[in-house]
Amino acid sequence: MLVLRDHRFLLHDPGANHPECPARLQAVHEALDRARLPGLREEAPPLAPVEALTRVHGPELVQRLEATAGARSTRLDPDTVASEASWTCARLAAGAAMRAAAAVSSGEAGEALALVRPPGHHAEPDRAMGFCLLNNVAVAAEAAIRDYGVERVLILDMDVHHGNGTQRIFSRRGDVFFASSHRWPFYPGTGAADERGEGPGAGATLNLPLPADAGDDRLLDAWYRGLGPELLRFRPELILVSAGFDAWQGDPVGGLGVSLAGFRRLTALFREWALQFCHGRIAWVLEGGYDPEALAAAVLDLAQEAG
C-alpha cells in the first residue's frame, strides 16, 4: 500500500477546541510509526496544480482560499476556519488524493491511502464548508478521468455525514457514481434516499440514510443490498473512498453505532468490490473521525489489511 503523508498537514490550525484538530492526524502518524507495517511505502504528496482545482471548483473559491495564505485566521463559514498554512495544506490534500488515484490507476500500487487534512467531501463547487476547503476526492476523480485513462469512477463515502459537496459536483455526470452512507437526519441536511442524480447523471447517485443507532449489521446490509446491484450496471474502473471514521460509536461529533470491527467488515466489502470490478484498484482518502485514538486504530486496521 502506498501511503501519502506529510507533517505539513499538522500546520492547518482551525483554532482551539476545534474538533478537526492536528491531534487527529498526529495520532494516526504515531500509530503507523509504532506498527512499522512491512507492506507500506510512504511518500510525501505533491501540491495539486491550481488548474486541477478549478476543474471542480469555481475560480472565485480558489482565489478566496489562496488569499488566506499567511493570514492568522480566516473564517470561511461558521464551522470552517483557515489559518496561515491552510491553503498549502488544502493543496497538499488534493494533491495526495490525485497521487493516490494515479498510483492505483497505473498499477504502480495495488492500494493507496491519502492521510490528509483538512477533509474535503463537504466542499462544494463554490463554497468551503463543514471543515472542508477543497473537495479532495472530487479533484482526484476528475483527474482520473481526464488524465489517468479511467472511464468510470466509483466514489464510496463512508463518513457519518453526507458528502454534499461530492454529490453536487458530480450530480449531472454519468461517468462518476457517488454512493454515501450517513446518519439521517443530520448535518449537512442533504442525502435523502430520493436524491439519485440529475440529467445525464440520473441514477448515478445512491444515498443510504441511516438512524443514529444503526450499528454494524445495518450499515453493512445497507451497502450490500443498496449498491451491489448498481455495480453490475455501472462497472467501475476505479474506486475512491471518502474514508471517514466518525460513524464510530463513540465519536464526539458523529456516531452511527459502528464498532472498529464494523469498519473492518465495511472496508473488506469495498476491497471485495474493487477486486470484482476493477482489478483491486482502490484509493482511500481520509475524511472525518474526531476521536484521535479511535481514528488511529481504524486507520491502522485499514493499513494492516491492505492486500
Helix axes 59-66, 86-106, angle to 10 degrees: 130
Nearest alpha-carbon partner for 239 in 79, 121, 111:
111
Residues 6+ apart with CB under 8 A from 55: 139, 142, 143, 146
pLDDT for the residue numbered 4: 99
| 238 touches 274 (CB < 8 A) | no
CA 112 to chain centroid: 12
Q: Is pLDDT at 307 greater than 80 in this prediction?
A: no
d(CA 83, CA 118): 11
Residues 6+ apart with CB under 8 A from 57: 123, 125, 126, 134, 135
* Per-domain residue ranges of the chain: 2-304
d(CA 301, CA 39): 13
**What is the band of 174 on the pLDDT scale with cuts at 50, 70, 90?**
very high
Q: What is the CATH number of domain 2-304?
A: 3.40.800.20
Grid cell 462544494 in the structure block, residue: 124
Residues 6+ apart with CB under 8 A from 73: 15, 81, 82, 83
d(CA 49, CA 304): 31
Of all residues in the chain, the percent with pLDDT exceeding 70 is 100
d(CA 54, CA 142): 11
DSSP string, 100-129: HHHHHHHTS-SEEEE--SS--TT-BTTB-B
CA 134 to chain centroid: 11
**Helix (H, G, I), strand (E, B), or coil: what is residue 167?**
helix
* Contacts for 12-15: CB closer than 8 Å, 24+ residues apart: 12/82, 12/83, 12/85, 12/86, 12/89, 12/90, 12/117, 12/118, 13/83, 13/85, 13/86, 14/80, 14/81, 14/82, 14/83, 14/86, 14/118, 14/131, 15/73, 15/81, 15/83
> Among residues 57, 121, 122, 182, which one is catalytic?
122
| 243 touches 302 (CB < 8 A) | yes
Q: DSSP assignment, residue 46?
A: P
Residue-wise pLDDT for 204-254, tens only, equals: 999 999 999 999 999 999 999 999 999 999 999 999 999 999 999 999 999
Residue-wise pLDDT for 83-117, tens only, equals: 999 999 999 999 999 999 999 999 999 999 999 99
Of all residues in the chain, the percent with pLDDT exceeding 90 is 100
Active site residue 122: yes
Residue-wise pLDDT for 251-306, tens only, equals: 999 999 999 999 999 999 999 999 999 999 999 999 999 999 999 999 999 999 99
pLDDT for the residue numbered 130: 99
Grid cell 491553503 in the structure block, residue: 87
